[in-house]
Amino acid sequence: MKAELLYEGKAKKVYRAADEEGKLVLSYKNDATALNGKKKESFTGKGRLNNEISSLVFSYLKKKGIASHFIKKLNDKEQLVYETNIIPLEVVVRNMATGSITKRLGFTEKTPFQPPLVELFYKNDELDDPLINDDHALRLSDISQDELQVIKKDALMINTVLQEMFQTINLILVDFKLEFGRLPDGTIVLSDEISPDTCRLWDRHTQVKMDKDVFRQGIGDLLDVYEEILNRLEATS
């Protein structure tokens, strides 16, 4: 199914799909990293959990009419996606203040953001993924002003759809990060992954953290928490 390794990131390996022009195989790793890779640990089973969860989330988005690079889950740890040229922006949507925005701008923890707040970060490990504004984004990528507005609008629409999805399994979507990529025909689509590595999810009743903050803050068992997310998602899909 897969041919040569194109790229290895912190959480995934990317291979060219054998005999399938324009398609890639994403292979989810067991590694968890935080603090831009300074904290790292491997958890047997994490790759499978994120692959399963991200596959369910992208399938749900597809049902709701949101285009993405996702084609299908191939096996436990791998999925088939369309090859895109990743736009080097991390688009973060926040429904509540926590994490970096509380430290950077002094928002009180759990301040609600309504309408939700959208932030752009430059995807660049050497620079520690700095927060940027629209003008920076236009100069640091090949997107146009119009495309940037569409990306931000899409991110907010995806937020609404995901909030609804997670609400049905008693999770609050606190914030999350999206990445977008360009297909060969120039269209921009949602790419990368959507999982507890990239979303903050709190239990609706207890507000217990059920995402990578468990690892970042050393406050629980990452595998147990991710398994619980998958179980809840499977129960409704």
- Of 98, 78, 84, 86, the closest CA to residue 183 belongs to 84
Is 23 or 191 the residue whose CB approaches ligand UDP more closely? 191
Is 147 among the residues that bind ligand UDP (CB under 6 A)?
Answer: no
d(CA 3, CA 85): 19
d(CA 237, CA 223): 21
- Of 142, 169, 183, 196, the closest CA to residue 11 belongs to 196
Is 163 among the residues that bind ligand UDP (CB under 6 A)?
Answer: no
Is 17 or 81 the residue whose CB approaches ligand UDP more closely? 81
Structure tokens at 30: 């067991």
Q: How is 107-121 classified by DSSP, letter by letter?
A: PPTT-EEEEEEEEEE
Is 175 among the residues that bind ligand UDP (CB under 6 A)?
Answer: yes
Is 193 among the residues that bind ligand UDP (CB under 6 A)?
Answer: no
Is 141 among the residues that bind ligand UDP (CB under 6 A)?
Answer: no
Task: Please pick, from the candidates 212, 222, 225, 229, the single residue that binds ligand UDP as defined by CB under 6 A.
Answer: 212
Stretch that binds ligand UDP, among 18-26, 108-116, 149-157, 194-202 (CB under 6 A): 194-202
Number of residues that bind ligand UDP (CB under 6 A): 13
Is 129 among the residues that bind ligand UDP (CB under 6 A)?
Answer: yes
Is 75 or 207 the residue whose CB approaches ligand UDP more closely? 207
User: What amino acid occupies position 30?
Assistant: N
Question: Phi, psi (5° rounding) for residue 57?
Answer: -65, -45
Structure tokens at 88: 């080097």
Name the residues that contact ligand UDP, by CB under 6 A: 90, 92, 99-101, 129, 175-177, 198-200, 212
